Amino acid sequence: MDVPTIVVILGAALLVIAISGGGITFKEVSFPKVSNRLRFILAPLGILLVILGVILWIKPGWLTAPPATETPASLSTSTSASAPDPAVEPAKAPDAVCDEFDTYAFGWPTENQLNDVVVEQANGQFRIAYYKPGEGFSASWSPGQYTDFTVETLFSTPADAKGAAGGLTLRTLEKRWYLFWVYPESKTYVFIKDVNGLSEYLAGPARLEGVEPLQDGDRFSVQVKIVAMGSRFEIWVAPPGGTYVLQAIVEDDTLAKGHLGPSAPRPTFVGQSPVETRFEWVCISQP
């Protein structure tokens, strides 16, 4: 049972108690008798909970991370990704703002849908955990919006999970975003534009060139960077702490400004344990 349904049922139960005064039994559920004073308190509380549940049904991302969007398996492939120049690591801005997830000061939104997906900050990491396979993705948006920026993150995925990936959502607004994901197990990446449910590959699917994800035990780790300047996006990938290698340059001017943050697509298979993409840090800088 999802959270909106639970909220509505709880609100309805409080309304029943407020209206009847309690002391009734419905389908083996007994409602206790309450005083008139308590009935006056329960009635508005029940109404508020019912309204909140309906709002969460209509707009599930209102209090949480952005809702998932389906990415069709067959999409038109754009030729806007150009071959990169010889790889030279871009200079890291000295004024970069980094969040290592050791405090909650940055204010990343979270999500918790039991037995489906959990998006949370915990134990010095930001994690997106899937309990069911399928399509779509989950993400967390930065409180602020960005136009031109450099954003980096280091993440890991299970080595034995098919379709497990991680990366970034960029220039995100309501149902409009760019997505960049690396699939460490298959050593591939994609850069996607999605506007109101219509998706287009702007780069990839393509194999990583000149870089290998690091396997440490049962997990793959990889570091990624996006440099966005106007309509130009530079896609860089590195092993953890290593030198970035330019993978592609994308030109697209559809989305000019928006939120950004960690994201991960839903995997194609989930076993007994959830498939977790774990982010160690995110750094953002502006020119």
The pLDDT tens digits of the residues spanning 66-125 come to 433 333 332 333 334 544 444 444 444 556 799 999 999 999 999 888 778 999 999 999
What is the average per-residue pLDDT within 243-271? Answer: 94
Residue 64 — pLDDT band, cuts 50, 70, 90? very low
Structural domains of the chain sorted by starting position, each given as residue range(s) with its CATH number in brackets: 3-58 (no CATH), 81-285 (2.60.120.560)
If one compares 184 and 35, the residue with the highest pLDDT of the two is 184
If one compares 51 and 204, the residue with the highest pLDDT of the two is 204
Q: How long is the chain?
A: 287
Q: Measured between alpha carbons, how far is 169 from 68 in angstroms, rounded to an integer?
A: 12
Residue 48 — pLDDT band, cuts 50, 70, 90? confident
Residue 204 — pLDDT band, cuts 50, 70, 90? confident
Q: Please give the torsion angle defined by the CA atoms of residues 221, 167, 286 and 120, in that order, rounded to the nearest 10 degrees.
A: -90
What is the average per-residue pLDDT within 277-285? Answer: 96
If one compares 113 and 200, the residue with the highest pLDDT of the two is 200
Q: Which of these, 225, 233, 275, lies nearest to 253 by C-alpha position?
A: 233
The pTM of the whole model exceeds 0.75: no
User: Of the given ranges (12-26, 60-74, 84-98, 253-267), which has the lowest mean pLDDT?
Assistant: 60-74
Q: Measured between alpha carbons, how far is 16 from 31 in angstroms, rounded to an integer?
A: 8
